[in-house]
Each structure stands twice: as structure tokens, then as C-alpha cells.
Copies of this chain bind each other. A is one copy, B any other.
């Protein structure tokens, strides 16, 4: 399901840098990476769950931060970008299995970027919604 046509040199470089980081530890993989939209998949297993047996909010929060980060880094390959604010709404419990996060850029100025992301299950049901503000440093 990798979209080979969308894999740019910048993107390859990003993925190499992701080795041994929290991105890989969490188990994220890119499904789609276009200039305006990125989709990342994670197969939620036992170690991604919380005490009550649903996917941990930190997992979907991390997925959101990751996917938003990628869409912004692809849009601004020469800038160093950090997350300033991440706001996450957990709208429905998510079960183990395939999870997808889709991130899109909402606004860009010279120094600030805003993105939105949605985490859904394999059937497309929304579980978590997030918005993030990012800053060029």
C-alpha cells in the first residue's frame, strides 16, 4: 500500500532519520505521503493499550504528532520545526488492530504552522481528533 509515486528524496531522508526514534519504537509506518496529506498506520497491539484494554491516549496522541510532523516537514523541507501545542479530543475508544492517522496542513505562515489530524480504525470510524501548532525554529 506504499505510494511509491509520492516518495521524494526528502521523504527518504526523513525515514532514515526516523530509525531508532520513538516513531519506530511506536511502530508507525507511512502509508501515503503527499504534499498536502499524510497517512500513517500503526497496528495496535497489547503494548499499545491502557489499563482498561483500549488503545492508550498517548499512542493516538503520538500518532497525531508524527503524522502532522511529516506533512509539515514535507511542506517545509529546509526548516526545523517543533511542536508548540497539541490538542487531542478522544471521541471514541479504539480497539487493538489497524489504526490510521491522516494529517493535513490547516495554515502556514513564515514562522507558525497549524495542522489537523484524525485517527480512525480500519473501518474508517473516527476515534481521536487532534490539532497542532508548530513553530519554525
Contact = CB atoms under 8 A, between A and B. Distances in A.
Interface of A: 14, 17-18, 20-26, 46-52, 54, 56-59, 61-63, 65-66, 69, 73, 80, 82-93, 106-107, 109, 111-112, 114, 116, 126, 129, 131, 133, 135
Q: Is the interface of A mostly helix, strand, loop or mixed?
A: mixed
A21 B51 contact: yes
Given A85-B89, A91-B109, A133-B89, A46 B58 contact: no
Copies of the protein in its oligomer: 4
Given A61-B58, A87-B88, A129-B107, A50 B23 contact: yes
A26 B58 contact: yes
Given A23-B51, A114-B129, A90 B80 contact: no
